[in-house]
Amino acid sequence: MGPALVAHMTAALPRMLAGLESLIRCESPSADLGAVAASADVVAEVGASLLGVRPERIVIEGRAHLRWRLGGGPPRVLLLGHHDTVWPIGSLDRHPFSVVDGVLRGPGCFDMKAGLIMAFHALAALPDPSGVILLVTGDEEMGSPTSRGLVEEEASRCAAALVLEASADGGALKTGRKGVSLYEVGVRGRAAHAGLEPDRGVNATVELAHQVLAVSALPDPARGTSVTPTVLVSGTTTNTVAEAGRFAVDVRVADEAEQSRVDRAMRTLRPVLPGARLDIGGGPNRPPMEPAASAELFARAVAVAGRLGLPEPVGTAVGGASDGNLTAGVGTPTLDGLGAVGGGAHADDEHVLVAELPCRSALLAALTDDLLTGPAPRSGRPARLLGEGRT
């Protein structure tokens, strides 16, 4: 596959934009099961029109996921995306679909409905897509609570996973992602009247303050580890010593050793106030996608781009997590950020650069073909057990 593929994708751009408009106009907030189901219908229709086959519809706990198994033979390459978004119903009224001066806008365009359109066109351009699995999930933005098993199972069967999440800044491919742990620290104290007999209470708010400070001492910036207390709730009324409270903790780590260190520290927290009790919930949610998992695939992407006459891709590690963490976690070589170039994910300025769509689609098609016809990449890390690390 050479420069003619870029020309082919450029000619297909109007159809890409029409398909993307259809996906964007069907709003799909993760928490709305009906909206996600309707979105799955539209994604299936657009995909089938290009791939010539309808997907399997997999509904788990009411959430709709789609899977295409293309051609015959054993699975070899997993293309992975999601059709749910963070945008609530009605967002189109404030952020309508538009294409102005080469910039496409609309809820979920960058994260990540453009990536789905790119995948459909990339796979439609392959001489033989046998061995490709395209999995489009409907709950990634919620942490993949129902699709995680699907993602890990399909990845474990494949020699490589290509993740259709949007690119990093400037179009960079994502060659590393931090792992995520999520905790909730609960405190039980004893209620009392704040004016008449505060000394008879055990103040959950004060205990929470001690615990927040203890958790805030756990980060290690030199190793890329952040441990951030976030939402905090405590007490009932202003004149009552707080009986109970809780706070959430978001942890991001670059390697599994740090994920284990923080987990041990969280589970050894102890109450400071006499009579207070702690309840620590949660744990590691997604393992890190370490650079070793993507090194060989990134090198092949660079070589493929050269054959297409495209600029050499740049790789970068990012703090956010995706389902690429899960595919790398089961030992499958993974390259992420192969979707659209643009910016503003989850924000009012979410956008896609239209001129980049043909080039990125060509890169995705050629890399997929290279993985189907060339040697299987070597895994950069040992596999985890399926589901290991779930909370």
Residue type, 362: A
Per-residue pLDDT at 382:
53
Separation CA 107–CA 341 (nearest Å): 15
Per-residue pLDDT at 152:
97
What is the CA 164 to chain-centroid distance, rounded?
A: 10
Tokens for 85, please give them. Answer: 């978004």
How many C-beta neighbours within 10 Å does residue 311 have?
10
* Nearest CA among 285, 277, 355, 374 for reference residue 77: 374
Separation CA 268–CA 249 (nearest Å): 15
Per-residue pLDDT at 391:
45
Percent of the chain with pLDDT over 70: 97
- Pinpoint the residues of the chain covered by CATH 3.30.70.360: 179-286
Dihedral sign computed on CA atoms, order 202, 206, 208, 211: negative
Per-residue pLDDT at 72:
81
What sections of the chain are H helices per DSSP? 3-11, 13-25, 33-51, 91-94, 114-124, 148-157, 204-216, 256-267, 295-308, 324-329, 357-373
Separation CA 269–CA 259 (nearest Å): 16
Q: Is 179-286 a CATH 3.40.920.10 domain?
A: no
- Pinpoint the residues of the chain covered by CATH 3.40.630.10: 3-177+288-373
User: What is the chain's pLDDT, residue by residue, as a tens digit (391 residues)?
Assistant: 788 999 999 999 999 999 999 999 999 999 999 999 999 999 999 999 999 999 999 999 999 999 999 998 899 999 999 999 999 999 999 999 999 999 999 999 999 999 999 999 999 999 999 999 999 999 999 999 999 999 999 999 999 999 999 999 999 999 999 999 999 999 999 999 999 999 999 999 999 999 999 999 999 999 999 999 999 999 999 999 999 999 999 999 999 999 999 999 999 999 999 999 999 999 999 999 999 999 999 999 999 999 999 999 999 999 989 999 999 999 999 999 999 999 999 999 999 999 999 999 999 999 999 999 999 898 655 555 445 555 4
Per-residue pLDDT at 73:
82
pTM for the model:
0.89
Q: Which residues, in sequence order, are bridge partners of residue 100? A: 103
Residue 187: φ, ψ to 5°: -125, 135
CATH topology of domain 3-177+288-373: Aminopeptidase (3.40.630)
Separation CA 68–CA 72 (nearest Å): 12
Per-residue pLDDT at 385:
46
